[in-house]
Structures are given as structure tokens and as C-alpha cells.
Amino acid sequence: MFSYIWPLALVVLANTFYQICAKSIPDALDPFASLTVTYLVGALVSFVIYCVMNKSADLLREYGKLNWAPFILGISVVGLEVGFIFAYKAGWPVSTAQIAQSSVLAIILIFVGYFLYNEALTWNKLVGIIVCLGGLTLINLK
């Protein structure tokens, strides 16, 4: 059970700090300049953890196993990060920006799962879409 829960707990904890940090980027700082530091730190932390977790670390051998996904993931992560930074600079509240994007993302991923991964499209998921849309409406009411 722990191996099932800890990854999501880590995502929630990391995402909490992520949102706080994205909201705290100074307005005068170019978001892309900020991301250069972010990714240098991320690369260093990833390298250290890789070396600690793999006693016979051979990063070049690992790189030989790469496919297209890490490259597109890198582009996607830049889009995520800069999107949130610009959203916060535009005035989105930290309390609703994440919820709004997560609701829309949940709806999109239901269809991605169905069309790309043959996941079931159940009545529960369709009702979930309606709930997400209702929630988006409610949090954006002024």
C-alpha cells in the first residue's frame, strides 16, 4: 500500500512548493531566466540522486536507452512552468489556478486515456467531467 501512496504524496508535497515558488517569482524577473536556474538545480539534484541510487552509475549507458519521451517531456515541463508563472503574473490566485488547470486537464486526460491507451470511458468518468465543469464555473464566479 505504501508503494502505491507515497508517489502521489510526493507529487502533492512537491506541487504545493511548486505553486508557492511559481507565485513567488519576482515580477521583474524574466520567467525564462528564472527557469534556467530552476533547471540547473533540477539537473544537479537529479544527477546526485541518480548517483546515490545507482552504485554502478553509468549515465552515458542510460542515455543510450532514451526515446522521444524525455525530450518532449522537457518541452512540456517548460510550458507548465512558464504557463503558471505567467498565469500568476496575470493575476490568477494561487487558490484557483491549479484547480482550474487540473479540472481541464482531468477532462482531457479522460479522452487521452480512452483514445491512446484504450482505458474505459465509464459513466463515472463522464459524470466526473460534468462535476469538473461545474466546479470550474463555481470557482470562477465573482
Express each pLDDT in 50-101 by its tens digit: 999 998 889 999 999 999 999 999 999 999 999 999 999 999 999 888 888 9
Q: CB of 10 within 8 A of CB of 17? A: no
pTM of the entire predicted model: 0.85
pLDDT at 66: 96
CA angle (118 as vertex; 81, 5 as ends), nearest 5: 55
* Residues 91, 37, 33, 24, Cα dihedral to 10°: 20
| Diameter over CA atoms, the chain | 57
What is the reported pLDDT for 104?
87
Residue 139's pLDDT is 82
Task: Please report where in the chains the cell 519521451 appears, as a residue.
Answer: 69
What are the distances in angstroms from CA 7 to CA 1, 12, 13, 65? 11, 9, 10, 24
pLDDT at residue 56, rounded to an integer: 85
Nearest to 61 by CA among 50, 71, 72, 69: 50
Report CA torsion sign: 41, 45, 46, 47.
positive
